[in-house]
Amino acid sequence: MAERLAKFTSAMDRLYEFDREPVTPDKLQSGGKFAGLFAGEHVAATEFVIGAFFVLHGVTARDLLLGLFAGNLLAVLSWTLICAPIGVRTRLTLYWYLRKIAGPGVTFIYNIANAFLYCILAGAMISVSATAVGLLLGIKVPALNAVLPTSAGWVAIAFVLGAAFTAMAILGFEKLSRFAQIASPWIFFAFFAGALAALSKLGVGTDLSNLWQVATSRIWNGVAEAGQEKFGFWHVLFFAWFCNLAMHVGLSDMAIFRYARKWTYGLYTAFGMFPGHMLAWLCSGVMVAAVGRQMDPGLMAFEAVGAAGIGAVLLAGWTTANPTLYRAGLALQTVTPNWPRWKITLLAGTATTVLACFPVFFLKLLDYVAIYGLVLMPIGAIVFAEHWVFPLLRMEQFKAEKKGWSFNWAVLAVWPGTIVACFLLPIHLYFKWLPGWFIALVSYTALMAARRTK
């Protein structure tokens, strides 16, 4: 038994990658792999919720189309011009690069925060998958204002799914990534099929002549549901832009772009953004309109696609919770240097499973996504300043590493300071991050310059 256990843990240890060293040239990946990765990752279970919420928030069809196009374009440009160049130049994950800038103490705090936020996101994906299983077992999806678990059945489903997803993530991230590559085109087809079938049910004619009329009167009719805030063009644009803020402006996707041959590989994110964050959101909006605006991804997909729809919701949750768990594991790895990957993934998966039991994270997903990006964004601005602005101003880089600081106090002051400043700004939650990024950039540069003068 002990021997088998040793073999098992030894096999798990081999899953360890070379996260702590710059990626070597022989490990760089082709553009096609990046296109596949982004296409798979951004047609996620959460798309069933986000697109549907735009309908519930009373967005008009015109505002939605223009806002999604502009916002996703800005997101692709953020990856290409901000995240990818730093990832390609350093070949390091953000965590290890931040260690040079902010010191291991700050990295520790950042990684705890990051891992916790990733776990909530993965938990939301599991919750969405749980709605599909709940439909099969006759367990009601929590109401829009639910915060705590609403039934033992809901908790049981979330728990079983969380445990299953975690177990599969432990057994092999690589194998699951390959499976995700197979699943992602099909999931997208399921969105498309569901929307097309739902359009038919909503009364769109076979010649599509009344498509716009149905879209503006029965789907995105500009009327918000009771208790939901009314959204317009700017809300949609900013949401599409900041939806992955932690990944692009927040630089967390340096972990991916360190494998890119060129910074222009950032443009491959368009393969994720436009099918996933534009077409899939439009499709889920159509599907929710066809079920009388009920926020129940399992029901939406089942009504529109049948039994395969249930599979689509489950698989979308599984294949996207997997890389999120992987990222959470990466974040925790710096905190637990001697732990093998499987143990870290188990820790992240357990936290995720507990969080998945709370429906608030998927029912308030839009606000959570905004807060999640806002909390991590200042670190991206700080790294951007250190990487690009400091050399321009002839300021010394990586002082924390050179002087052996555990904490770079400028980072520790700017990070929470920016978050507080953002929350005090008298603008909508969705718009706060943009001025916040400049606040962080300027204040960190100024503080470090003042330190140099002293």
Partner 1 sequence: MSDRVFRFVSRGLALISLGVCLAAPVLFFLGRIAERTYKTGFLLASIGWFLLATAWATARKRRPGN
Q: Which residues make up the interface to partner 1 (CB under 8 A)? A: 178-179, 181-183, 185-186, 189-190, 192-194, 196-197, 199-200, 204, 206, 305-308, 311
Q: How far apart are CB 194 and partner 1 at their closest, in Å?
A: 8
Output the six-digit token pair for 40: 């798979």
Asked if residue 75 lies in contact with residue 277, where contact means CB atoms within 8 angstroms, the answer is: yes
Q: How far apart are CB 312 and partner 1 at their closest, in Å?
A: 8
Q: How far apart are CB 116 and partner 1 at their closest, in Å?
A: 34
Alpha helices (H) along 138-207: 152-171, 173-201
Q: How many CB atoms lie within 10 A of CB 84?
A: 28
Q: How far apart are CB 286 and partner 1 at their closest, in Å?
A: 12
Residue with the two structure tokens 């990051």 = 114
Q: Cβ closer to partner 1: 30 or 406? A: 30
> CB under 8 Å to 252, separation ≥6 — which residues?
94, 114, 246, 327, 376, 380
Q: Cβ closer to partner 1: 62 or 218? A: 218
DSSP labels, 409-424: HHHHHHHHHHHHHHHH
Residue with the two structure tokens 């919420």 = 53
> CB under 8 Å to 264, separation ≥6 — which residues?
80, 84
Q: Cβ closer to partner 1: 286 or 370? A: 286
Q: How far apart are CB 209 and partner 1 at their closest, in Å?
A: 14
CA angle 44, 46, 50 (to 5 degrees): 125
Determine the length of the chain. Answer: 454
Q: Cβ closer to partner 1: 206 or 453? A: 206
Residue type, 70: A
Provide the 8-state DSSP code for 265: G
Asked if residue 410 lies in contact with residue 451, where contact means CB atoms within 8 angstroms, the answer is: yes
Identify the helix (H) or strand (E) that includes residue 442.
helix 433-453
Calpha distance 196→200 (Å, rounded): 6
Q: Cβ closer to partner 1: 181 or 294? A: 181
Asked if residue 314 lies in contact with residue 325, where contact means CB atoms within 8 angstroms, the answer is: no
Q: How far apart are CB 317 and partner 1 at their closest, in Å?
A: 16
Per DSSP, the three-state class of 29 is: strand
Q: How far apart are CB 91 and partner 1 at their closest, in Å?
A: 25
Q: How far apart are CB 201 and partner 1 at their closest, in Å?
A: 9
Q: How far apart are CB 278 and partner 1 at their closest, in Å?
A: 19
Asked if residue 102 lies in contact with residue 269, where contact means CB atoms within 8 angstroms, the answer is: no
Candidates 161, 103, 126; CA nearest to 49 is 126
